[in-house]
Every structure is written in structure tokens, then in C-alpha cells.
Amino acid sequence: MEMMAEPHGALKGRARVPGDKSISHRALMLAALAVGESRIEGLLEGEDVLATARALRALGVALVRDAPGVWRVHGVGTGGLAEPEEVLDLGNAGTAARLLLGILAGHGFTSFLSGDASLRRRPMGRVVRPLREMGAQILCRSGERLPLAITGRFRLLPIVWRSEVASAQVKSAILLAGLHAPGKTTVIEPLPSRDHTERMLRGMGASVAVEALPEGGQAISIEGEIELSPQSFTVPADPSSAFFPAVAAAVTPGSEILLEEVCLNPTRTGAYEVLAAMGAEITVVDRRELAGEPVGTLRVRGDALKAVDVPAERAPSMIDEYPALFVAAACARGKSRFRGLAELRVKESDRLAKMAEGLAACGVRCAIEGDDLWIEGGPVRGGAEIDAALDHRIAMSFLVLGGLARLPVRVRGAETIATSFPGFADLMNGLGARIRPLEASA
Ligand code: S3P
């Protein structure tokens, strides 16, 4: 499907973006491992999370959808999943693939995992290696990619694993495997990554300890072989999804929008801090807690933004927001520099290359230097046609840019937006954007 975004004026209004993707995946998976029935409201019903739901069903878990976003999950207990008859097709969802591998490592049967062309390109070695060390057998395609086969085992070996990348997916896979091992399993990460797994596990009765290390980084440990208690909660709105309207409003002087119940976990808010440093006025209206996470309504007021220099250490707290932040930088006055972006190359697409190519096609001066990207901001011409490359965030970023440029921007393959943000165009248009599907050409 092709979509087009046309230039818009100031954005106004209030909206709640769909539930957080990371929390939604974890809510389903951890509920499946609890003993008894969990009830989740506000679940993101995007393609990625539905892939997790389908996989859990194939593994013998009963999931009932009572109403839009309202799901009940009958947990089978850790180690209680059943061998799936079919290949588990995880579509576009890296989080589903990597976290499920952690769970499957602790089950003594064989599963086959695959996904779409984007997921089949993504590196799995970062989770495969520690899970092998814990005792799972995993056979992958060259480059340790999907499709792969995993034969887990009942009672894994607890390990101490030092991850080279600050990745919440790696950390979570090891912690979930650690649930199926006696004693203490530890994962060391070089910088703090999102901690939803740790929060949720604690809320369900697990003992999870975090220790800051003198040499930098942190060690996260879990005590295994415990019973998780079921939970009822509401999933907060996704700060990564909310960042698209936030950018559109921030760069348009005169805009004022309210984004409700956004997850404000400090491991997720780095990009909002950068946008504020660029000159946007961002305030939190009512701060409270939801599902063990800090949430709040964000008020974003637009202004003329200025360039920014973002150091590599900020990356984990804003990893999914870079594409939209690059759009803000393209519209800001001056030369912005974003450092240490290697991880962007292994997301749903090579986001570093795709964003630089697309921005250049829209008339923006920018260049990749090593793992850094610089962008010379100013009025943007637009007027390009961009291929989403099976990457929802590439699609949404360029549709946001189309609203801010002089000429419309078209995005091919925009159906990929449904992986994380169903209703994106309607929500944006409700605030004053002008995004619409184009008729399929005959
Ligand atoms: C996620 C972690 C991040 C992020 C992804 C979701 C998660 O990936 O990019 O969209 O839910 O744990 P990495 O762990 O690979 O950095």
C-alpha cells in the first residue's frame, strides 16, 4: 500500500497512541508462564504482538480476546508449554523471536522459528550464544539467522553472561531462560537498556536484582525456578509511537498537542529530552503509575528547533526514536550530529542507510561517517517517493516529514505501519496532519 503525506500547519488536539509494543509482548509471554489467569487491557493489537499471541497459542496457551485490547491469558506455568506442530512464524517481530527463544530454551522439545524477509536478515547470534551456554541446542542458518530450530531442555544451567550490546532483547531472553534454571542467572549490559522485563517479573513475584558495576554497565540477576503469579493491568501508551506526533508538533510553531498515558520509563525517554534540548516545549501534565511503569500526559508545543549533538551513550534510551529524531534534525536550524549508531543497522531495516538515503532524496544534506550521522537542517523540499523496506518506523518517519516539507512525500509499503501503530494515519490526521492512502494503480 502506498501512502502520501502533504504539508500541514500547526497541530492541535489530544490523542492516546496504542499500547506499548515492548510491554505488550512481555505481558502476553509472562502471563503465559504464570500459574492462573491474567487480564491485560490496552494491549497493542499490532501485527508484531499478534504474532506473539499466535505463537503462544501454538505452544498450547489459551488466550481469549474479550474486547478490543482486552485479553485474558491462561498461564501454564514455567516449563509448561507444549511442542508446537507448526513452524512459529513471527512475522516482522524481533522482540517476539528473541524473547521466545529465551522461553523455549527452558522447554525440552523442538520448535522451528521463522519470520518475514526483514526478520530473517536480523542477527540471532546475540541470543543464541548465551542460550547454548545454558544448555539449549540451536541450529541456525549462516550468520545465525532465522529460520532456526531450537531444542530446549527442562532445567537450564544458570550462567553469568556479558553482552557486548546494550540490548533489552538479549537481556530479556537470558532472564526468561533464567526463570527455567536453578539458582541465579546474571546478565551484564554495557549501558542500561529498557527494563520492562525486570519490572514485570518483579510484579509477578520473581526476585530480580540490579547492581551498577564500578567499571560501568550493570549486572541484572534473576533467581530461577519460581512460580509467577498472574496479573491484571493496563498497558501504557507507547512512547516510541507517540514520538511521531510529538516530532510533527515540535517542529511546527503554533502547535500544541496532548499525548495521553505515555509510558515515561526513564530507559525510554531519551529522545524526548533531546527534542526538548532542540527547543521544543515538552511538559508532563499528570504523572502517575500504570502497570508498574511511570506514565503521564505529554504536552508538546512547537517552536523553531535548533541542531543538536547526541553522544553514543544516549543510544539505548532512544534507540527506536532515531528515525523520527532525524526528521526533526532535518527541519532544525544548523548541523546535528548523532553518534554511535551501529545498532541502527540491524533493526527492521538498516535504518542508518535508509534514513540517510530517504533524507537525501527529500533534498536534505546529510552523511554517514563511520557509525555517526550528521544532518544539515533547514527548510525541507520533500517531493520524494520512499520505500518502507518492511520497516514501520521508516514509513512513519517519512510520512511525518511529508507533513513538514514543501512538497508531499509518498511511502511505498506503508502497510508495515500496522506492525506497531495501527490507526497511525487517522490519529495523525485527527491532530491536523494530511496523510492518505493512494489508489492502487491499475
Ligand atoms: C525492544 C528492544 C530494542 C528495540 C525494540 C524493542 C524490546 O531492541 O529496538 O524495538 O522490546 O526489548 P534491542 O534490544 O535489540 O536494542
Please identify, by atom number, the ligand 1 atom nearest to the C-alpha of residue 126: 15
Residues 295 and 435 in one domain: yes
Residue located nearest, by CA, to atom 11 of ligand 1: 22
State how far the alpha carbon of 77 is from the alpha carbons of 23, 107, 227, 228, 280, in Å.
19, 11, 7, 7, 47
Tell me if residue 238 is catalytic.
no
Q: Which amino acid is at 67?
A: A
- Please name which of 149, 166, 61, 52 lies closest in space to residue 105, comparing C-alpha atoms: 149
Q: What is the CATH number of the domain that holds 331?
A: 3.65.10.10
Residues 51 and 165 in one domain: yes
Task: Using the mean position of ligand 1's atoms as its centre, give its distance from the Cα of residue 168 in Å.
Answer: 6
150: Cβ contacts below 8 Å, ≥ 6 apart: 101, 104, 105, 110, 111, 113, 131, 136, 137, 138, 139
Residues 170 and 290 in one domain: no
Domain count, the chain: 2
Please identify, by atom number, the ligand 1 atom nearest to the C-alpha of residue 22: 11
Residues 54 and 108 in one domain: yes
> pLDDT tens across 104-159, in order?
999 999 999 999 999 999 999 999 999 999 999 999 999 999 999 999 999 999 99
* Angstrom distance (rounded) from CA 265 to CA 262: 9
Task: Using the mean position of ligand 1's atoms as its centre, give its distance from the Cα of residue 193 in Å.
Answer: 8
Q: pLDDT tens per residue, the chain (442 residues)?
A: 999 999 999 999 999 999 999 999 999 999 999 999 999 999 999 999 999 999 999 999 999 999 999 999 999 999 999 999 999 999 999 999 999 999 999 999 999 999 999 999 999 999 999 999 999 999 999 999 999 999 999 999 999 999 999 999 999 999 999 999 999 999 999 999 999 999 999 999 999 999 999 998 999 999 999 999 999 999 999 999 999 999 999 999 999 999 999 999 999 999 999 999 999 999 999 999 999 999 999 999 999 999 999 999 999 999 999 999 999 999 999 999 999 999 999 999 999 999 999 999 999 999 999 999 999 999 999 999 999 999 999 999 999 999 999 999 999 999 999 999 999 999 999 999 999 999 875 4
Residues 212 and 277 in one domain: no
Cell of 401: 516529514
Residue 89 domain-assigned (yes or no): yes
Residue 442 confidence (pLDDT) = 45
Mutate which of 169, 175, 392, 394 for ligand 1? The one with the most ligand atoms within 8 Å of its CB, which is: 169
Please identify, by atom number, the ligand 1 atom nearest to the C-alpha of residue 170: 14
CB distance 385 to 373 below 8 Å: no
Cell of 37: 489467569
Please identify, by atom number, the ligand 1 atom nearest to the C-alpha of residue 169: 14
Task: Using the mean position of ligand 1's atoms as its centre, give its distance from the Cα of residue 381 in Å.
Answer: 32
Task: Using the mean position of ligand 1's atoms as its centre, give its distance from the Cα of residue 169 in Å.
Answer: 5
Residue located nearest, by CA, to atom 15 of ligand 1: 167
Buried b (16+ CB within 10 A) or exposed e, 304-341: ebebbebeeebbbbbbbbbbbbbbbbbbbeebbebbeb
Residue 337 domain-assigned (yes or no): yes
Residue located nearest, by CA, to atom 10 of ligand 1: 320
Residues 364 and 343 in one domain: yes
Please identify, by atom number, the ligand 1 atom nearest to the C-alpha of residue 346: 15
Task: Using the mean position of ligand 1's atoms as its centre, give its distance from the Cα of residue 377 in Å.
Answer: 28
Residues 389 and 430 in one domain: yes
What residue numbers bound the domain in which 108 lies? 21-221
Residue 392 domain-assigned (yes or no): yes
Residues 15 and 64 in one domain: no
CB distance 130 to 102 below 8 Å: no
Residue located nearest, by CA, to atom 16 of ligand 1: 167
Residue 356 domain-assigned (yes or no): yes
Residue 226 domain-assigned (yes or no): no
86: Cβ contacts below 8 Å, ≥ 6 apart: 58
- Please name which of 114, 110, 217, 120 lies closest in space to residue 162, comparing C-alpha atoms: 217
212: Cβ contacts below 8 Å, ≥ 6 apart: 218
Task: Using the mean position of ligand 1's atoms as its centre, give its distance from the Cα of residue 220 in Å.
Answer: 17
Residues 240 and 385 in one domain: yes
Q: Which of 320, 372, 387, 391 is catalytic?
A: 320
Q: Which of 221, 248, 274 is the last residue of a domain?
A: 221
Residue 441 confidence (pLDDT) = 55
List residues near ligand 1 (CB under 6 A): 22, 95, 167-169, 172, 193-194, 319-320, 343
Q: How many helices and strands (H and E) does the chain possess?
A: 13, 25
Residues 141 and 162 in one domain: yes
Q: Which of 171, 197, 221 is the last residue of a domain?
A: 221
* Angstrom distance (rounded) from CA 374 to CA 366: 5
Residue 169 domain-assigned (yes or no): yes
Residue 439 confidence (pLDDT) = 80
Q: Which of 221, 255, 285 is the last residue of a domain?
A: 221
State how far the alpha carbon of 33 is from the alpha carbons of 25, 77, 203, 402, in Å.
13, 4, 13, 44
Residues 269 and 291 in one domain: yes
Residue 229 domain-assigned (yes or no): no
* Angstrom distance (rounded) from CA 163 to CA 442: 50
- Please name which of 343, 333, 241 lies closest in space to residue 15, comparing C-alpha atoms: 241
Residues 195 and 307 in one domain: no
